[in-house]
Amino acid sequence: MAEKFDLNEREVWDGNYAASQALRQARVDVVAAYPITPSTPIVENYGAYVANGYIDGEFVMVESEHAAMSGCVGASAAGGRVATATSSQGFALMAEVLYQASGMRLPIVLTVVNRALASPLNVRGDHADMYLGRDSGWIQIDAFNAQEAYDLTLCAFKIGENHSVRLPVMVHQDGFITSHTAQNVYPLSDEKAYEFVGEIVPVDDMLDFSRPVTYGAQTEEDWHFEHKAKQHKALMDSRPVIDEVFAEFEKFTGRKYNRVEGYDMDDAEVVIVALGTTVETARVAAQELREEGIKAGVVGIRVFRPFPFDDVRDMLENAKSVAVLDRSSPGGAMGAFFNEVSAALYTTPNRPLVTNYIYGLGGRDFSVNEAKRIFMEQKANADAGHITTDIQQFSGLRGPHLGYFQTKRS
């Protein structure tokens, strides 16, 4: 048995430490990992738990992130609980195996500390890696602070390992802003945390030789489509399970999570929709603007995949002007997140105005004032009844304004 780890009711942890504590408490059987900034401390902390007897499982330090996810796939197919951590270039190197993990329906938990993708090389946080994973068939959950990184990592095991889900789960947090900022975190005791997460019950266990299993078969045009459709269905069908797990977590902790989080949304007319720590910055801006009589609200996407199309729509349909903030270089298109939110809003009778802000790339700071300016531009749109700015614009960029496309008006 692993050594007992005593925790205070309130700890001061950064996001990395919070995530690594959640992995320890979930009694992960195999962690196969490779270090990369800014997620390295998760792996290092885990190494410290191993060295001091706090871990019963195996810790396999491999030679690359591709191997980390490959080892996780082999380990997960062998029936136990599996997790790892990565960021950015490491995530990109894993990409091939991410698709294979989800295709084989293996409930691996990957804590992703979001960071920009090179080139130019950059170690700071943006969401380029998170976006890279968006078609990979994983559930993607987004934490906005250290407490959430801890809570949602525990939830991730329970969601992915649920037999009606059986999908790998990523838990994202923002590089440095969350991962390296010490904050108050209220952890569960080891016993309570494990009681919540529960034992893993393997399906198609490679170490059960009474029933041999073949993983990673080949399918061509005869069956590939059906397999991918089933995978998509599994992702879509995971929504009520995610809700159930969040509800159970609330019973344990009093902390309630939703697939879409709305703040001041009851009567909001101007809204920022965002991911990660930006949600918290935008909330501060919204509250300050409310004191000035501006009906500002914020929507944070907690579960990026499966994308909460209907909940986003329901939450935003009565808004007047919505700013969707993409923290990833769009590479010659509108921001991907903007496109998804816009598509949801297009199906509402009201069709709020929607604009796209590209911001914060490579860790460029996003301030309360910047959020306020974006809200005020939405206010101008709402008052005018049309988009008064470029539909896509870069926010917080040095040098001349960069923006594209305007509303067609007769």
- List contacts with another protein (CB under 8 A): 29-30, 32, 56-58, 60-64, 66-67, 70-80, 82, 96-97, 100, 205-210, 212-219, 223, 227
CB of 168 to another protein, least distance (A): 13
CB of 101 to another protein, least distance (A): 9
CB of 228 to another protein, least distance (A): 13
Of 97 and 285, which CB lies nearer to another protein in the complex structure? Answer: 97
Of 28 and 325, which CB lies nearer to another protein in the complex structure? Answer: 28
CB of 79 to another protein, least distance (A): 7
CB of 219 to another protein, least distance (A): 5
Of 70 and 389, which CB lies nearer to another protein in the complex structure? Answer: 70
Contacts of 230 (CB under 8 A, 6+ apart): none
Of 69 and 139, which CB lies nearer to another protein in the complex structure? Answer: 69
Of 215 and 309, which CB lies nearer to another protein in the complex structure? Answer: 215
DSSP run (H or E) holding 114: strand 109-114
Residue 277 and residue 38 in contact, taking contact as beta carbons nearer than 8 Å: no
CB of 210 to another protein, least distance (A): 7
| Helices 88-103 and 65-77, axial angle in degrees (round to 10) | 30
Question: CB 169: neighbour CB atoms within 10 A?
Answer: 29
Which residues, listed in sequence order, are joined to residue 357 by a DSSP beta bridge? 325, 393
Rounded Cα distance between 366 and 326, Å, is 12
Rounded Cα distance between 402 and 5, Å, is 52
Residue 303 and residue 254 in contact, taking contact as beta carbons nearer than 8 Å: no
Burial 82-114 (b: 16+ CB within 10 A, else e): bbbbbbbbbbbbbeebbbbbbbbbbbbbbbbbb
Rounded Cα distance between 340 and 388, Å, is 22
Of 56 and 248, which CB lies nearer to another protein in the complex structure? Answer: 56
